[in-house]
Amino acid sequence: DFAFPYGANFAEVAVNTRTGEIRLDKFYALLDCGTPVNPELALGQIYGATLRAIGHSMSEEIIYNAEGHPLTRDLR
């Protein structure tokens, strides 16, 4: 069986419009995973998954067509 916890993530970023540089200022991960058997382990999994997702998001390229529509469909 799979577990489907509910959650939301919010990021506050700063974008340098001249260079395109992105800086992550704040990040919030809010999750309802029920009652964990081991709270420290659950928190570690949340931290690890969050950092991995931020890393993927900040290092992937999104390609746009001439009209400005994204051609990239996912963050592979």
Each residue's pLDDT tens digit, 11-36: 999 999 999 899 999 999 999 988 99
Return the sign of the alpha-carbon dihedral for residues 59, 63, 69, 70. negative
Q: CA 15, CA 68: separation in Å to the nearest integer?
A: 18
Against a cut of 0.85, is the pTM above it?
A: no
pLDDT band at 10 (very low <50, low <70, confident <90, very high): very high
The domain locations on the chain are 6-59
Residue 40: pLDDT over 90: yes
Q: CA 22, CA 24: separation in Å to the nearest integer?
A: 7
Q: pLDDT at position 60, please? A: 78
Cβ–Cβ under 8 Å, residues 29 and 39: no
**Phi, psi angles (nearest 5°) of residue 73:** -95, -20
Instruction: Tell me the percentage of the chain whose pLDDT exceeds 70.
Output: 95
Q: Which residues pair with 10 in a beta bridge?
A: 28
**Phi, psi angles (nearest 5°) of residue 45:** -65, -40
